[in-house]
Structure 1
Amino acid sequence: MALTEEYYLPHSEPVPGREAIIRVRDLAAGFGERLIVDGLNLDVWRGEILGVVGASGTGKSVLTRTIIGLVPKRRGTVEVFGVDLDRASLKEGLAVERRWGVLFQQGALFSSLTVKQNIQVPLREHTNFSPRLLEEIAMLKLELVGLKPRAADLYPSELSGGMIKRAALARALALDPELIFLDEPTSGLDPIGAQDFDDLILTLRRTLGLTVFMVTHDLDSLSRACDRIAALGEKKVLAEGPFSEMRKATHPWLKDYFQGPRARAAQGLS
């Protein structure tokens, strides 16, 4: 059955006085001859937690990696902090990159480095801090994400799943970013661990003034932690809005996802 516009929720209108930290227009990106996203438009507003959701293969991770420059785009523009990175000088691009942090799926910690050394990687790359200051910052970031000091000298293989997520988040926060990208941050965690991680993100957003771009399939996270949700499908953003509005969507996939039993449970509905 051909899909018509009646299936879609309207995209959020720009709010006067709100700053778009990320602005994506007419984005096309993919692998080989296959485009994963094509004609995608999206804004991320300063201070919000945006949840990005979609069926497997709809381009959630591709979108994230294209924004941060790991996947080359075929068409369109991506502006971060008002800077078009395609047109930016090397110096300008590095300055923008220092203002964001990334938590990759499964943490992506360097297995041969301790937790403390992992946290210090972006600091060593972008600063000339003394060894003593590197040590102090790493320990501060550990405390910030709720890890005990003894975790500093452990290797990733010695960490639980929840500790890996927190250590990777500490590394993402190493340079005091304004924007963080989280790729499936609660994947593999038990419900209590996932809720604790959501609470941590909410606390960090409040205390540090972060803007959060979070790819997730976790309905509890979408309901509890996200101010707004962008649902990907058919190579574009199908709909965007708060969880309550997403539950009104009539697109078949959105309806199954946001009106199913698990979605009702996430909002405490019967």
Structure 2
Amino acid sequence: MQFFGKYDTRFDREFLTESYLYFNEDDQELSPSEFEKLIKSKKDKKKNIVGTIFMYSPFYYPYGYDEKKKLSDQGFEFDDEFHSLKIEREITLFKQKIKNYPGKIVEVRYLFHLNIENINTSEIIMSFNEDLEKLNTNQLTIFDKEMTYQNTDDLFINGKFVFLAWGNKINRKEFVYIYDYAKLILDKCIQMQKKVSYVYRKSLQEEYSVDNLYFLHPTQCGKLKNKMPNTLTEVFAQHPPKVTILDDL
């Protein structure tokens, strides 16, 4: 499996604006330019993209760059070209567990495209929540609308399935606009008749998990961490992936 992505920057912030998992056939490896040909047009995307994984936010770097420094401080060119990205953390798990799509692509999308390690600070989350209240208006936002957020007015999802894995960071009482934004994305996936799947905790039950948008992340922390790999095997054992219970009782 290979991981490809595009970056952009504005006001000293860096964003992973597109990213994809390509599942190689045999030992075949693609260059970024060869990969891009597979998604060049809508027709190409329809043919080659089998589904979409939705996570909370990215923190991925191209090969040859240090994650402890900003890309802009390392001479990286934000050239609107695809780059080969390092396969780490949850991407490693996807590489190990997704076996059904040789020669095909899974798109990876995010609620927030800001490419930093510690995105879940009070300051950033409050800014996101404030921005999302204005998302579909002409009002100015703290973070760039186009680079940071999904365009919920014109949301299009590639492939037949959507696997939701943005974790349990969404607090519907404290950050209502973040909740509404994520809920709208889920609703639109259902409206588009995508096969929606996710992992939920047995102790919380499915109805509560869906209502609160708690969909477990592949590298979930604590006592759930060691159970997630086997659970992901079950999720992706069939096509399309299925809703799966993680037994935490």
TM-score (structure 2 length as normaliser)? 0.32
Structure with the larger strand share: 1
Which gives a bigger RCO, structure 1 or 2 (Cα 8 Å, sep 6+)?
1
TM-score (structure 1 length as normaliser)? 0.31
